[in-house]
Amino acid sequence: MKKALIVIAVIVALLAIAAYVFRDTIGFMIMLASTSPDSTFAEDTRHPAPDYSNPDHWAALPDLDDPADVSPNGLDLDNQATALVDVFFIHPTTYYKADHWNQPLDDIEANTFTDDQVLRNQASVFNSCCRIYVPRYRQATLFSFMDDGADGAQAIRHAYEDVKAAFDHYMGHYNDNRPFILAGHSQGGLHADTLLKEVINGAPYQDLMVAAYPVGYNLDGSNGIPVCDHAEQTGCQVTWNAVGPEAPAFGDTSTSICVNPLNWTNDGSYAGFDHNLGAVSFTAGGGVLEKGITDAQCIDGRLIVTEVRSDGYQNMMFGPGNYHVYDYSFFHMNIRENAMQRSLAYLAK
């Protein structure tokens, strides 16, 4: 009896340890299961489309006071008032509900998440080089990307149609023949890839594109845009997915594009910790700049980070060693500098 109790105690202890170690993953799986809509996409309610002539349907605009205007603590790097280049940024998934396949535009929680997390931690890296435009759109709910049927794909396409409408409005009413950067993350990276493939590639205004940063999604380069191979190249694209060496891959990544944001090459060369100009998290780190916290190397289509030399980056909701939520934050100052480099190289032509 005593031996059996000891065995049970050991099992309980191991389960408790596993629950602690994999707490982010377990929480993510619970959240994912809870975001599966009860209805099909065809049965779901269609919410009013955004009107991009209405500033309320943009999360960030150059003349708005919005969270994309922030700089790392102690620095004033926002140059939007005088920038000669624009950035059209597409935010990642921030709608985690099962109510609908696509976010209603007036969903307060999703919009607050977009503003407080994404604009500060991601879009703000471009405020040194560019005027920032970030549309709100009827994004696909998180479950759409795990759905095996047609519903998820339809929700993603529905979201893309809003993004395309926003980009068309930007080109028609805001661009005024200015150079622009196209950027996004995760779901936003996918929509940026589709924009490049279906709208920008071959269009007259492709020549206005300084570069594209469709980050955080496995992309194979079939959108027709060259992959960047050095820091000052223009008219090209960069992307990466940051993970630890032991992180499991979501599918085959061997054909995925990977450009190293620490040296801006796509040749698989290693960049050490001294190449990291500064990570910034406005969420956990309060905007503190931390230099040299990661290294990076592209291996089999993934950006391998061997170590994170900071305690401020603990959120691994997609599993241990998956740094998806930090694709921008880890390399904040490198991206900020590179967007300036490419912009100046374009303007010098």
pLDDT digits (tens, 9 = 90+) for 277-336: 999 999 877 899 999 999 999 999 999 999 999 999 998 888 999 999 999 999 999 999
Residue 192 reports pLDDT greater than 60: yes
Domain limits, the chain: 35-347
For residue range 27-81, list pLDDT tens digits in order: 445 556 678 998 999 999 889 999 999 999 999 999 999 999 999 999 999 999 9
CA–CA distance, 141 with 268 (Å, rounded to integer): 34
Would you give the end-to-end CA distance of the chain in angstroms?
81
The pLDDT of residue 2: 46
Which pLDDT tens digit goes with each residue over 231-255?
999 999 999 999 999 999 878 898 9
3-state secondary structure of 192: helix
Phi, psi of 214 (to 5 degrees): -85, 75
Residues 138, 158: contact at Cβ < 8 Å? yes
Close Cβ partners of 24 (under 8 Å, ≥ 6 residues apart): 315, 316, 317, 318, 319, 320
Long-range pairs of 219-225 with CB within 8 A, sequence gap ≥ 24: 219/189, 219/190, 219/193, 219/256, 219/257, 220/255, 220/256, 220/257, 221/257, 222/197, 223/193, 223/194, 223/196, 223/197, 224/196, 224/197, 225/196, 225/200, 225/201
What distance in Å separates the CA atoms of residue 295 and residue 307, rounded to the nearest whole number?
7
pLDDT reading at 266 higher than 80:
yes
Lowest mean pLDDT among 128-142, 188-202, 261-275, 306-320: 306-320
> If DSSP codes are grouped into helix, strand and coil, which group holds residue 86?
strand
User: Is the per-residue pLDDT at 13 higher than 90?
Assistant: no
Nearest of 332, 114, 327 to residue 218 by alpha carbon: 327
Residue 17: count of CB within 10 angstroms of its CB: 10
pTM above 0.75, yes or no: yes
| Confidence at residue 285, expressed as pLDDT on a 0 to 100 scale | 77
Q: What is the pLDDT of residue 250?
A: 76
Q: Determine contact, residues 289/72, Cβ cutoff 8 Å.
A: yes
| 56 vs 61: CA distance, rounded Å | 10
As a whole-number percent, the residues of the chain with pLDDT over 90 amount to 85
Instruction: State the Cα–Cα distance between residues 99 and 107, nearest whole angstrom.
Output: 11
The mean pLDDT value for 267-284 works out to 96
What is the chain's alpha carbon radius of gyration, rounded to the nearest angstrom? Answer: 21
CA distances from 41 to 47, 143, 144, 326 (A): 12, 12, 10, 31
